[in-house]
Amino acid sequence: MTFARRGLFSLGFALLLWVFISPVAVSQPSPNRTDPKQPAPAQSIGVQPDPQQAYSLPPEKLAKAIALGRIRNILDIVGSLWGLAMLWLLLATRAAAGLDRWSERLSRRRWVRDLVFFAALLSILTLAGLPLDLYSHYVSRSYGISVQGLAGWFGDQAKALGLSALIGSPVMLLFSWIVRRWPRRYWLGAWVAAVPLMVLGTVVSPLLEPIFNQYEPLAQHNAALVAQLQKVVIRTGTNIPANRMFLMKASTKTNGLNAYVSGMGATRRIVVWDTTAGRIPSDEILFIFGHESGHAVLHHIAKGMTAGAIALFFVFWACAGFAGWLAHRFGHGWGLQSQLQRQDGAGPLATRAGFVVLLFAISAAGFLLEPVSNTVSRYIEHEADIYGQEAIHGLVPDPQKTAVAAFNALGEAWLEDPAPSPFIEFWEYNHPSAQTRANFAAHYDPWANGGQGRFFSK
């Protein structure tokens, strides 16, 4: 996860838990993964693409995909563990307790002290991940995926940090108040507050996107494509008029390809990257749009939120117990011992430093439950793939070839390994691999011999 996305992801305690919800609102190509046990890149040169596989890369790009996948795997794992380590270090070194005492001297108003503390905490956590994110950006540029210069990249990081402090601090303030107000059942109050915040996050996400990227009406640049996309809108029954179709100027930052649907209700819109509109045929863009339409028509966002809300109920309950145990087991060493006998009975978790313990517990749960979230997400993405291929039936000459070509274009643009490790795919992929998706698309023809599709009868 890039620094900018990590900054948005940490907008608050509740939004951080979005990891448990399938990310279908903004469906982006999954980054390539690879098996660390596969041969080194130098040994892969000269290997010919497998003609029996629907997705393959030429030898030179195959070598790059394997090498890049290995780096991405390491960065993903190290990044997750580093985030947990930073929270632990803040507690173990008593830095969190020291930051608590420092904020206590700033104002007579508690809410001011809390806001300053949480803003400082979020800044520390995001800045701590900056070296890894900078290296990830360097790697992306080295492999020809990113084209963004350092000045622009650092500008995005500054924007993300500002949003993290501006929005995340009040959200954390809310949850901190809940912990103090209901010390014995705060996890239930936090769950009640988290669910509407997640819905709100989906609704307002399109309003935040222009902070990082430039958007223009798609009709202004490619009226013919808009007309073709409207055919898919009519066929699928999605309510996305032409004035909510946008072109994103992605070419100033990346060579990658993407198109997605974001928002909910009045904020729902389709976004096509200018790299996509300029490099792959319109038929393939129609398939990608059909896939995204599937998320809306099949109510994936609502289903994901419902499943996530149910999961969060148990996660909050378990994390409250785990955080309480941590505070009592290590509270003295972390400088929390003086808070154990608070007169209001709230305990050390109700303090600002104690709130870091809760963040650690939630972050640990998010890391351990990532495979569960990704398994659900892969199922949803596969269902949307089926819907997208059926949605363009009759609109393009050959839906099978169109879908396969789209997956090949996406996989090659992002240098996704054609043969990722099953374990890496299970743990880290929130989409099926490009190979899995392309192979399925190549053989999916429900209309053969007079049959009908799963979602469309003709």
> Has this prediction a pTM greater than 0.95?
no
Q: How distant is the alpha carbon of residue 59 from its chain centre?
A: 30
pLDDT of residue 161: 92
pLDDT of residue 305: 85
pLDDT of residue 14: 37
Nearest to 413 by CA among 50, 68, 46, 35: 68
Taking a C-beta distance cutoff of 8 angstroms, is the pair 428, 33 a contact?
A: yes
Residue 373 CA to residue 17 CA, distance in Å, equals 11
pLDDT of residue 143: 96
The domain ranges of the chain are 13-48+56-212+317-369, 215-300+375-450
Place of tokens 């009226």: 223
pLDDT of residue 19: 34
pLDDT of residue 52: 58
Task: Sort residue 415 into left (φ over 0), alpha (ψ -120 to 50) or beta.
Answer: left
pLDDT of residue 340: 46
pLDDT per position in the chain (458 positions), as tens? 333 333 333 333 333 433 333 333 323 333 433 333 333 333 333 333 444 578 999 999 999 999 999 999 999 999 999 999 999 999 999 999 999 999 989 988 999 999 999 999 999 999 999 999 999 999 999 999 999 999 999 999 999 999 988 999 999 999 999 998 898 899 999 999 998 998 888 889 899 999 999 999 999 999 999 999 999 999 998 888 899 999 999 999 999 999 888 888 888 898 999 999 978 999 999 999 999 999 989 998 888 888 888 999 999 999 999 999 999 899 889 988 654 444 344 567 888 999 999 999 999 999 999 999 999 999 999 999 999 999 999 999 999 999 999 999 999 999 999 999 999 999 999 999 999 999 999 999 998 877 888 999 87
How many other CB atoms sit within 10 Å of the CB of residue 74?
12
